[in-house]
């Protein structure tokens, strides 16, 4: 049988009301309050072995300490899942449930889940990190909210397939993955029906919600370009012949940097592109069309730019996910900042 540990605040843990909100975290065997309900719904597959109780004020005012104490209390326990709440609309309790679930997940690598009302501010704070089921506004919905969590966790621990956030009833975690429309419905029918709804001004729901777009403001111009160090960075996959760092030709997760000291241009045969997203013939014939080293040397000699930085940075931009691109961009930018590079020429294909 799998084992669960449950987290409650002082009120639901039956220690007391607001006067006991400074209650220091502690762990006890067995279940209290809503734990009875949880226990009934999890049996016989999962046993709730312990309950952690902590005062809401204690957690809110001494968060780091509370988390440390609770993690210590859990250290020598064996458990397969950690469950907290439901916290309904309670702000402090919601914060505690979210924070402790996140910490337990990171420390013990077990599934964690809680339940809150959509208006609880902790939903937005933690929904990308942990399962937060959409719950009612008050304890009146306890008998509905606890079984929803219990049913999900039973199936999850049994290794069964779980459905989308919407179908399961938890707040979306921002993870988009494939599934099959059940019963099967072709994209064609979904598209035409959505168009008919849109034409009729009926409600419809897009299958790809457009996320908030990160806009990076354009940097102010440099006052004295002839005193600045400029670097060349490319997502065009220009690498030394043979691709020494094994950068992937598509969906790249690696970048490389290559010394261009003393080179007036990128010579065909010594440099090549490994980018699989465009016709490489022109770039292989003359790699400078992707990374304009020849032109930059010309500007350097002319004194138009102060100095060309002696490393070329390369990755591949085709099929590369936005998250990987951001990570690589950050890593490269940090190196360039440390090297006092003040401008870059970023080329694609």
Partner 1 sequence: MRLEIGNFHIQDVDFGETTVFENGLLTINKDEALRVVYEDDRITDADIVIARPNDPIRITPVKDAVEPRCKVSGGELYPGLTNNLVPAGTGRTHVLKGGCVLAVGKHWGGFQDGLVDMSGPGSYQTMFSYLLNICLVADTNEDDENHEQQKKNTALRLAAIRLSEYLGECIRDMEPDGLEVYDLPSPNELEDRVKELPRVVYVLQLQSQMIENGYNSLVYGWDARNMLPTLMHPNELLDGAVVSGSFMPSSSKISTYQHVNNETVKRLMREHGVTINFLGVIVSNLNVALEEKQRSAMRIKQIASSLGAEGAIVCEEGYGNPDTDFILAISEFEDAGIKTVGITNEATGRDGRSQPLVDLSIKANALISTGNVSQILKLDPMEVVVGELESLTRDGNSGGWDGSIKADGSIEMENNGIFCADANTGNHFKTVVEY
Structural Rg of the chain based on CA atoms: 28
DSSP β-bridge partners for residue 116: 134
CB closer to partner 1, 177 vs 220 = 177
What is the DSSP track for 52-97? EEE-HHHHHHSHHHHHHHHHHHHTT---SEEEE---TT-HHHHHHH
CB closer to partner 1, 198 vs 227 = 198
CB closer to partner 1, 143 vs 198 = 198
What is the DSSP track for 9-57? ETTTTTS-SGGGTTPPPEEEES--THHHHHHHHHTTTEEEEEEEEE-HH
Q: What is the smallest separation between the CB atom of 181 and partner 1, expressed in angstroms?
A: 5
Please give the biggest Cα pair distance in the chain.
Answer: 80
Q: What is the smallest separation between the CB atom of 48 and partner 1, expressed in angstroms?
A: 26
- Residue ranges in contact with partner 1 by CB under 8 A: 162-167, 172-181, 184-192, 194-196, 198-199, 204, 206-211, 213, 248-251, 276-282, 318-319, 321-324, 349
CB closer to partner 1, 108 vs 278 = 278
Q: What is the smallest separation between the CB atom of 274 and partner 1, expressed in angstroms?
A: 9
CB closer to partner 1, 64 vs 178 = 178
From the list 202, 262, 255, the residue with the least C-alpha distance to 233 is 255
Q: What is the smallest separation between the CB atom of 202 and partner 1, expressed in angstroms?
A: 11
Which two three-digit tokens encode residue 156? Answer: 């999850």
Q: What is the smallest separation between the CB atom of 343 and partner 1, expressed in angstroms?
A: 23
């Amino acid at each position: 049988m799998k084992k669960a540990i449950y987290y409650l605040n002082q009120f639901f843990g039956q220690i007391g009301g607001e006067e006991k909100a400074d209650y220091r975290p502690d762990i006890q065997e067995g279940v209290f309050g809503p734990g009875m309900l949880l226990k009934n719904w999890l049996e016989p597959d999962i046993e709730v072995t312990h309950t952690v109780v902590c005062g809401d004020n204690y957690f809110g005012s001494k968060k780091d300490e509370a988390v440390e104490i609770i993690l210590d209390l859990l250290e020598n326990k064996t458990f397969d899942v950690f469950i907290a709440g439901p916290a309904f609309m309670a702000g402090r309790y919601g914060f505690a449930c979210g924070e402790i679930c996140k910490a337990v997940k990171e420390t013990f690598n077990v599934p964690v889940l809680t339940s809150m009302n959509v208006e609880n501010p902790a939903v937005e704070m933690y929904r990308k990190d942990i399962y937060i089921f959409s719950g009612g506004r008050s304890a009146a919905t306890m008998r509905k909210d606890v079984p929803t969590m219990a049913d999900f966790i039973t199936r999850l621990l049994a290794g069964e397939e779980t459905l989308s956030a919407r179908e399961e009833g938890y707040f979306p975690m921002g993870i988009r993955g494939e599934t099959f429309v059940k019963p099967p419905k072709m994209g064609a029918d979904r598209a035409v029906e959505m168009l008919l709804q849109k034409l009729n001004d009926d409600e419809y729901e897009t299958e790809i919600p457009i996320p908030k777009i990160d806009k990076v403001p354009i940097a102010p111009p440099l006052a004295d370009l002839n005193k600045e160090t400029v670097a060349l960075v490319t997502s065009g996959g220009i690498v030394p012949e043979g691709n020494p760092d094994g950068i992937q030709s598509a969906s790249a997760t690696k970048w490389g940097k290559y010394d261009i000291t003393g080179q007036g241009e990128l010579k065909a045969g010594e440099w090549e592109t490994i980018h699989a997203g465009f016709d490489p013939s022109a770039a292989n014939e003359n790699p400078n069309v992707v990374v304009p080293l020849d032109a930059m040397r010309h500007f350097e000699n002319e004194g138009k730019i102060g100095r060309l930085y002696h490393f070329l940075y390369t990755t591949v931009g085709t099929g590369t996910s936005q998250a990987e691109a951001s990570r690589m961009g950050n890593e490269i930018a940090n190196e360039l900042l440390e090297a006092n590079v003040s401008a870059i020429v970023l080329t694609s294909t």
